[in-house]
Amino acid sequence: MENLSRIYLDNAATSFPKPESVYAAVEVYNRQLGTAVGRGTSRDSMTVQSTVDRCRKRAADLIGAESSDRIVFTFNGTDSLNLAIHGLLAPGDHVVTTVIEHNSVLRPLNELESRIGLEVTHIQADETGLIDPVEFQRAIQPNTKMFALIHASNVTGTLQPIEAVGEIAREAGITFLLDAAQSIGHTPINLDQLPVDLLACPGHKGLLGPLGTGLLYIRPGLEQQLNNVRQGGTGSESENPNQPETLPDKFESGNHNAPGLFGLEAGLKHLSEVGIDSIQSHEQQLLNQMFSGLAGLPGLKVYGPNDAEKQVGVASISVEGWEPQVLASLLDEQFQIQTRAGLHCAPGVHRAIGSFAVGGTVRFSFGPFTTADDIDAAVTALKEISGTV
């Protein structure tokens, strides 16, 4: 049963609520269709296939991909990142990444360091969580194979200079992997104008789809270098004992999450109708409202740029004398405000911004359905907790 009284400010974990059309699409699949993707020729099977194809096309259009077959469906952002990292890197390769990455990048790289001797360089960040692209240039070695960079921090919301990093990678012939988990759906991304080779993201955050969905964009030609990490049935070339080499089948073995993709298609349609620019403007207004409301509160610190034009809708805070987990529990239990507390699977960010020693931060994260009243409630709660009301 839906909790109508709660104020949900944890959209960086997963978006909620979803558009009504998302719930309806999942219901249609589950109750009226139910057939597997690419595994039949019945009318219902064709309906399922056409919806999944439309989902792929909407995703390609959203990010300016060259064609829909450049979009590979995965099961979450972590799945997408693992495919990119494990599928491309080999013994003797060198990767340049940063300390602000999510564990979905850091842990696969650490695994390959220990397993195959991968070399990894971690670029430092300033106190707002921002990196300097010049450091990527300086870190290049003869064996550098990949740059891996998060577009927007899941802790501070800080937007990184991806154009500059991408240009450095392009000029050096290095593959640029962009983790767009916290930016896609919140800020415009046009790959026609960005030098990005691989873009990984989940479908359940800014894209407003259900959990269990994700995407990996692959630049034309790179699929020949990218190994698949899972083999099996694809519903195509069944006579071939080897994995197909064509996209997207090369990377999509096994049954798809069909109900999830139905919901994702509806979420992508909603985004196209509302417009990413409109969503970005809405979330910037909310950030400005929150920054203004929290300014000057005793013992309260806001981490990151504190500039709505330099970040997505994420605000991480700490209050002197309160452990983050205790503060988040208080917000939930007494004010019905749901946030996230701790290190947010990104410990390096907290070291950079100075919140690691206190156990991290309390993170407020916004979405298209977050309202000004929600922000007012959060500010009022924090004022009461800090003793100014």
What are the boundaries of each domain within the chain?
7-17+275-385, 20-274
Predicted TM-score of the model (pTM): 0.96
294-319: pLDDT as tens digits: 999 999 999 999 999 999 999 999 99
Residues near 118 by beta carbon (within 8 Å), at least 6 away in sequence: 89, 91, 93, 94, 95, 109, 112
Please tell me the class of the 7-17+275-385 domain: alpha beta
Q: How confident is the model at residue 38, as a pLDDT?
A: 84
Helix, strand, coil abundance in the chain, percent, nearest 5: 40, 15, 45
Question: From residue 177, how far is each of 147, 199, 317 by CA, in Å?
Answer: 6, 6, 29
Three-state DSSP class for residue 362:
strand
Q: Which residue spans within the chain are E strands per DSSP? A: 7-8, 71-74, 94-98, 119-123, 144-150, 175-179, 198-202, 214-218, 300-303, 314-319, 337-338, 340-342, 361-365
pLDDT at 156 over 70: yes
pLDDT at 1 over 50: no
Task: Tell me the one-letter amino acid at 99.
Answer: V
Q: What is the mean pLDDT of residues 22-47?
A: 93
Per the CB < 8 A criterion, the answer to whether 181 and 102 are in contact is yes
Give backbone dihedrals phi and psi of 73, rounded to 5 degrees, phi first: -85, 135
- Which listed CATH number (3.40.640.10, 3.40.50.300, 3.40.50.80, 2.40.70.10) goes with 20-274? 3.40.640.10
Q: How confident is the model at residue 236, as a pLDDT?
A: 87
The whole-chain average pLDDT of the chain stands at: 96
Strands 7-8 and 361-365: unpaired
132: tokens are 């300097």
Q: How confident is the model at residue 39 (pLDDT cuts 50, 70, 90)?
A: confident
- Topology agreement, domain 7-17+275-385 and domain 20-274: no
241-276: pLDDT as tens digits: 999 999 999 999 999 999 999 999 999 999 999 999
pLDDT at 334 over 60: yes
The percentage of residues in the chain with a pLDDT greater than 70, rounded to a whole number, is 98
Cα Dmax for the chain: 72
Q: How confident is the model at residue 4 (pLDDT cuts 50, 70, 90)?
A: low
